Structure 1
Amino acid sequence: MLRAGGARITLAGFRRTSSPIAEVEGLEPVDLGLTRDGRFAQRLGAVAKAAMSIGAKLGVVPRPDLIIARNLEMLALARRAKQVFGASVPIVYECLDIHRLVLRNDLIGRMLRGAERYLARDVKLLVTSSPAFIANYFKPFGQIVAPVELIENKYFDTMPVSADHRREDDSPVAPPWRIGWFGALRCRRSLELLAEFTRRQNGRFEVVLRGRPALSEFPDFHAFVEAEPWLSFRGPYRNPEDMAAIYREVHFSWAIDFFEQGQNSEWLLPNRLYEGCRFGAVPVSMASTETGRFLERQDIGVLLAEATPEGLDTALGRMGQERFGTLKSRVLARNPRTWSYDRSDCLAFVDKLRGLTSVRGTFATEGPGIGWLRMDKSR
Structure 2
Amino acid sequence: MLHVLYLVHDVSDPAVRRRITMLRAGGAKVTLAGFRRTTSPVADIEGLRPIDLGATRDGRFGQRLAAVARAAFGIGAKLAAMPRPNLIIARNLEMLALARRAKAALGARVPLVYECLDIHRLVLRDDLVGKALRGAERYLARDVKLLVTSSPAFIANYFKPFGQVAAPVELVENKYFDTAAVAVDERLKAQNPAAPPWRIGWFGALRCRRSLELLAEFTRRREGRFEVVLRGRPALSEFPDFHAFVEAEPWLSFRGPYRNPEDMAAIYGDVHFSWAIDFFEAGQNSEWLLPNRLYEGCRFGAVPISMGHTETGRFLNRQDIGVLLSEATPEGLETALGQMEQERFGKLKTRVLARNPRTWSYDRSDCRAFVDKLRGLVAAPGPFAAEALA
Q: Indicate whether the TM-score tops 0.5.
A: yes
Runs of 5+ in structure 2 lacking a partner? 1-21
What is aligned with 1:357?
378
For 1:362 and 1:198, locate their aligned partners in 2 and report how far apart those are by CA, in whole Å. Answer: 64
SS in 1 for 2:35: strand
Percentage of pairs with the same residue: 82
What is aligned with 1:186?
207
Cα deviation for residue 160 of structure 1 reads 8.2
SS in 2 for 1:183: strand
With over 3 angstroms needed to count, the CA separation of the structure-2 counterparts of 1:36 and 1:203, relative to structure 1, is same
What is aligned with 1:108?
129
Q: Is structure 2 residue 236 aligned with structure 1 residue 215? A: yes
Cα deviation for residue 59 of structure 1 reads 0.8
What is aligned with 2:301?
280
Q: Assess if the C-alpha contact under 8 Å between 2:187 and 2:299 holds in 1.
A: no
Cα deviation for residue 171 of structure 1 reads 1.3
Q: What number of residue pairs does the alignment pair up? A: 368
Q: Assess if the C-alpha contact under 8 Å between 1:354 and 1:363 holds in 2.
A: no
For 2:342 and 2:118, locate their aligned partners in 1 and report how far apart those are by CA, in whole Å. Answer: 37
What is aligned with 2:247?
226
SS in 1 for 2:126: coil
For 2:382 and 2:345, locate their aligned partners in 1 and report how far apart those are by CA, in whole Å. Answer: 51
Deviations 1:298-346 (A, max 9, x none): 0000000000000000000000011000000000000000000000000
Cα deviation for residue 151 of structure 1 reads 0.3
With over 3 angstroms needed to count, the CA separation of the structure-2 counterparts of 1:87 and 1:66, relative to structure 1, is same
Q: Assess if the C-alpha contact under 8 Å between 2:298 and 2:352 holds in 1.
A: yes
**Bigger relative contact order (CA 8 A; separation at least 6):** 1
Cα deviation for residue 161 of structure 1 reads 8.0
SS in 1 for 2:202: strand
SS in 2 for 1:2: helix
Q: Assess if the C-alpha contact under 8 Å between 1:243 and 1:275 holds in 2.
A: yes
Cα deviation for residue 86 of structure 1 reads 2.5
TM-align CA RMSD: 2.0
With over 3 angstroms needed to count, the CA separation of the structure-2 counterparts of 1:160 and 1:267, relative to structure 1, is farther
Q: Assess if the C-alpha contact under 8 Å between 1:161 and 1:336 holds in 2.
A: no
Q: Is structure 2 residue 149 aligned with structure 1 residue 128? A: yes
For 1:361 and 1:63, locate their aligned partners in 2 and report how far apart those are by CA, in whole Å. Answer: 12
Cα deviation for residue 19 of structure 1 reads 1.2
Runs of 5+ in structure 1 lacking a partner? 365-373
TM-score by length of 2: 0.91
TM-score by length of 1: 0.94
Q: Assess if the C-alpha contact under 8 Å between 1:104 and 1:110 holds in 2.
A: yes
SS in 2 for 1:12: strand
Counterpart mapping for 1:62-77 below 5 A: 62-77=83-98
SS in 1 for 2:33: strand
For 1:79 and 1:299, locate their aligned partners in 2 and report how far apart those are by CA, in whole Å. Answer: 44
Q: Show structure 1 runs of 4+ deviating over 2 A.
A: 160-166, 358-364, 374-377
Equivalent AA in structure 2 for residue 298 of structure 1:
Q
Cα deviation for residue 172 of structure 1 reads 1.2
Q: Is structure 2 residue 176 aligned with structure 1 residue 143? A: no
For 2:177 and 2:126, locate their aligned partners in 1 and report how far apart those are by CA, in whole Å. Answer: 38
Cα deviation for residue 28 of structure 1 reads 1.1
Q: Assess if the C-alpha contact under 8 Å between 1:258 and 1:265 holds in 2.
A: yes
Cα deviation for residue 358 of structure 1 reads 2.6
Cα deviation for residue 253 of structure 1 reads 0.1
Q: Assess if the C-alpha contact under 8 Å between 2:187 and 2:300 holds in 1.
A: no
SS in 1 for 2:66: helix
More helix by share: 2
For 1:39 and 1:145, locate their aligned partners in 2 and report how far apart those are by CA, in whole Å. Answer: 29
For 1:46 and 1:230, locate their aligned partners in 2 and report how far apart those are by CA, in whole Å. Answer: 41
